[in-house]
Amino acid sequence: MKALRKYLDKIKPNFEEGGKLAMFRSVFEGFETFLFVSSETSKSGVHIHDSIDAKRTMTAVIIALIPAVLFGMYNTGYQHYLSIGITPGIWSTFLYGLLAVLPIIIVSYVVGLGIEFTVAQWKHEEIQEGFLVSGILIPLIVPVDTPLWMIAVATAFAVIFAKEIFGGTGYNIFNVALVTRAFLFFAYPASMSGDKVFVRTDSTFGFGGGTVVDGFSGATPLGQINIAPAEQIGSFQPVDVLGNPLSLWDMFIGLIPGSIGETSTLAILIGAVILLFTGVASWKTMLSVFVGGAFMACIFNLIGTTVYMTISPLENIILGGFAFGAVFMATDPVTSCRTETGKYIFGFLVGVMAILIRVLNPGFPEGMMLAILLLNTFAPLIDYYVVESNISKRLKRAINK
């Protein structure tokens, strides 16, 4: 490591103001701090600092996402082979998924980080780590058959218009990954919904070819629920791509069609435990989303005039993007509420809105994305009233002294 350090010290002057490669300064600094923790010492204020920094925090989130990523890859392969009627080994299944998902991850990172690097250099700032998380979230919330160019366009749109124009990481109002998803959803609705996009039936890089079996349908369970006629109330049964009934357990484990990372509630729960234990995400937000969702689902159960209304709170939570949104999206500290009281309100309303949109809007079988984006808008307002109550308490005290 010493040799590497020496080499970095040797080439460093080139990147400093006036050096030959000064235009790549931010990139160099980015890599330098990536390789070695900065040895800069404090000049004013506290003389010692906690070891945590933005890189470490983002790393914790990425580690928490790994179970969902790996399971998403496996499930992509699983759904594919199910649809062509072959039962290969576990490794072939995973390999197929890996080959299908990896290009999406690469495109998301290359486009997003490319923009981040450019903007950082342009503003003469350090490269910020925010996109390390957004870049892995994006592949997890899109259908596997989304064309790569669409992902590239949507990522670029989100990074520029949802983040950089606000000032970069820490200043954005909307969750960047969800803006990407929303852009795809509204700009290319045909490629983002329906029953064709959630299961890849073609071969990937010439791997895993075959013909789709008869009776195949790639509709997600929520898609099936959404179109089920009212006569099926009480008898409705979600099915897999071949029409076999799905049990609650299958849906919890996540071997169902859906966006890449959202299907397995189990993998998401492992992530949730990591996030909560490391203290990176707030349990208040997370819990409130689930409570809000269950609450709204119960209300709809009482009404029960469509199949969707009769879906139990538990199924509502483990199906679709609800759990993923609750654990990884609603808890984004930058775009959710920043006061503790606010977090309860924010989370609860996200849960309520998600189920409300799901059940009542015939166009969209899923409502989590819109619910979180909507509440992102209201988060500052909620915080404003929480802080305002502290202010009025202080003013009252001054008057009553």
Backbone angles phi, psi at 239, to 5 degrees: -125, 160
Q: Site for another protein (CB under 8 A): which residue of 93, 155, 224, 282?
A: 282
* 3 in contact with another protein (CB under 8 A): no
Query: Which part of the chain contacts another protein (CB under 8 A), choosing from 168-176, 179-187, 188-196, 237-245?
Result: 168-176
Nearest to another protein of 264, 282 (CB atom): 282
How many other C-beta atoms are found inside a 10 Å radius of the C-beta of residue 218? Answer: 20
CA gap 263, 254 in Å, rounded: 5
**Cα 52–chain centre separation:** 23
* 45 in contact with another protein (CB under 8 A): yes
Nearest to another protein of 142, 329 (CB atom): 329
CB of 45 to another protein, least distance (A): 4
Q: Site for another protein (CB under 8 A): which residue of 7, 16, 23, 36?
A: 36
Mark residues 358-387: x for contact with another protein by CB under 8 A, - for none: -----------------------------x
Nearest to another protein of 58, 150 (CB atom): 58
Interaction residues for another protein, span 47-106 (CB under 8 A): 47-57, 59-60
* 16 in contact with another protein (CB under 8 A): no
Query: Which part of the chain contacts another protein (CB under 8 A), choosing from 65-73, 113-121, 125-133, 236-244?
Result: 125-133
* 12 in contact with another protein (CB under 8 A): no
Query: Which part of the chain contacts another protein (CB under 8 A), choosing from 73-81, 154-162, 169-177, 258-266?
Result: 169-177
With CA atoms as reference, report the closest residue to 226 among 324, 316, 146. 316
**Whole-number Cα distances in Å, 94 to 218, 312, 397:** 19, 32, 63
* 138 in contact with another protein (CB under 8 A): no
Tokens of 368: 């989590």
* 312 in contact with another protein (CB under 8 A): no
* 279 in contact with another protein (CB under 8 A): yes
CA gap 25, 10 in Å, rounded: 14
Cα atoms in the 13 Å half-sphere on the side-chain side of 161: 11
Query: Which part of the chain contacts another protein (CB under 8 A), choosing from 141-149, 300-308, 336-344, 368-376?
Result: 336-344
Instruction: Check if the beta carbon of residue 212 is closer than 8 Å to that of residue 84.
Output: yes
* 195 in contact with another protein (CB under 8 A): no
Q: What is the dihedral of CA 268, 163, 28, 47, to 10 degrees?
A: -80
Nearest to another protein of 253, 287 (CB atom): 287
Beta bridge partners of 204: 207
Task: Count the residues of the shown chain that bind another protein, applying the rule CB under 8 A.
Answer: 58
**Whole-number Cα distances in Å, 252 to 198, 263, 316:** 17, 8, 11
The SS3 of residue 207 is strand
Q: Site for another protein (CB under 8 A): which residue of 7, 16, 38, 249?
A: 38
Angle at 378 between CA 361 and CA 355, to 5 degrees: 30
Nearest to another protein of 85, 170 (CB atom): 170
**Cα 44–chain centre separation:** 38
Instruction: Check if the beta carbon of residue 313 is closer than 8 Å to that of residue 323.
Output: no
CB of 42 to another protein, least distance (A): 5
Nearest to another protein of 53, 145 (CB atom): 53
CA-based torsion, 24, 28, 131, 252: positive or negative: positive
The SS3 of residue 239 is strand
* 5 in contact with another protein (CB under 8 A): yes
Binding site for another protein (CB under 8 A): 1, 4-5, 33, 35-57, 59-60, 126, 128, 130, 167-171, 277-280, 282, 333-334, 336-340, 387, 390-391, 393-395, 397-398, 401
